[in-house]
Amino acid sequence: MSLLDYRLHEIHSKLHEKELSVSDLVDEVFRQIGEREEKVQAYLTLDEAGARAQAKLLDDKLVSGEARGLLFGLPAGLKDNIVTEGLRTTCASQFLSNFNPVYNATVVSKLNAAEAITIGKLNMDEFAMGGSNENSSFHPVRNPWNLERVPGGSSGGSAAAVAAGEAFFTLGSDTGGSIRQPASYCGVVGLKPTYGLVSRFGLVAFASSLDQIGPLTKNVEDSAYVLQSIAGYDPMDSTSAKVDIPDYISALSGDVSGLRIAVPKEYLGEGVDAEVKETVLNALKVLEGLGAVWEEVSLPHTEYAVATYYLLASSEASSNLARFDGVRYGQRADSGNLLDLYHESRSQGFGDEVKRRIMLGTYALSSGYYDAYYLKAQKVRTLIKQDFDQVFEKYDVIIGPTAPTTAFKLGAQVDDPLTMYLNDILTIPVSLAGVPAISVPCGFAGGMPVGMQIIGKAFDEQTVLRTAHAFEQHTDHHKRRPEL
């Protein structure tokens, strides 16, 4: 059993009882990386020297009795769109291949305050645009459960690293499902918090009204610890919510007696693999056996979610990526005039998927099309949110599959962007509504992990975590590890 298989509180117990040191943890994670990274390719940048130096400082704190951080000594990987002072941050794009930030994202500062150790930056779809991690401009990540399959995206590196034992936990970003879908494909726990609960300061923006940072972990308890450490108001983020942060860890009571669960018929309908559907229904029986009750409901505007999302997200991407012009930083083409400089820098720096979304978003925002597309999509977004509001008037959580299928083969959909977009059909509505959701392993189909998505009311992560934890305590899916 690897040290990285222990729960967070078990690791802390061993540290304080002097059964192991922080340096032992760092040694173990880099040993795992040395054995497995060539196959999985989850990382873009590693900081072994920095991690070992930090481990030595924390070991000194352990000896002096000053070890108090909630994530003390835990090796963590960060998605490569979260800026880290002095550590290369590329967004998996050639445009930023040599970008070394001069400041930390707020979540990085919070991890440092919690005394976690950053070991490196994780591979992703370029600028978080993709659902399979094949859009990285460096190399694709491979699913640890089957190296011929995708890990999901855009946080594919973040999910694969946890599944492969190459980090104790990781942070990813979720715009339309980019934490939850790869968590499902890789058999780990992935949490998208309520929009505004975790600061976006220092997260390179894709779609600002949707982006949210969250943890990927081996189990729900660890997810609660990480969320406890990174949640909270940040004056540096204008969309940060001023809400009280509850004790997420104490919410893990294991009690779901009387919990009211809504199961949308749209989430188990056409396009959802039969084995995936059966696996999730069996998971609902586990919760039913623990005293929860569930009923079928309808979220009628689900069918419009994908079209709505890609209009809004692409429009925001078009605006956010305007800063990458070849003048201020990043890729700069050798060109004779300003217009050619813009054109050539972007042509050389951006990949096909990024260009596709910039063009779609620019079109939707252009004169004569704004009202017909962008404004209409905003109105439909409101209807989708109202669907969730109405269901939550009667129910505590909404449950369904995280993804309609298990992980597909590398290259199978790379030339079919519309099919690729539809892989997020069950996660996108949640992002549009801005509510929290977690994906937990609930079984296997064809030898590949299946994720169950538990969706909660805005800022009610406690109920989401409590439900996920209760299910996890009565199953062992999360304990299974891929045989690399």
Residues known to be catalytic: 79, 154, 178
Q: What's at 441, amino acid-wise?
A: P
**Backbone CA torsion sign across 410, 406, 211, 208:** positive
Ramachandran area for residue 18 (φ above 0: left; ψ -120 to 50: alpha; else beta): left
Q: From start to end of 175-247, where are the E strands?
A: 189-192, 212-217
The helix (run of H) or strand (run of E) holding residue 293 is strand 293-297
Paired with 188 in beta bridges are none
CA 192 remoteness from chain centre: 7
| Residue corresponding to tokens 């977009």 | 421
| Residues contacting 126, CB < 8 A, separation 6+ | 91, 92, 93, 135, 136, 137, 350, 351, 353, 354
Q: Which of 255, 191, 245 is nearest to 222 (CA)?
A: 191
Cα 236 to Cα 80, 111, 317, 453: the distances in Å are 20, 17, 21, 31
| Residue corresponding to tokens 């962008």 | 374
Q: Which of 467, 469, 437 is nearest to 453 (CA)?
A: 437
SS3 at position 236: coil
**122 close to 42: Cβ distance less than 8 angstroms:** yes
Phi, psi angle pair for 316, to nearest 5°? -70, -35
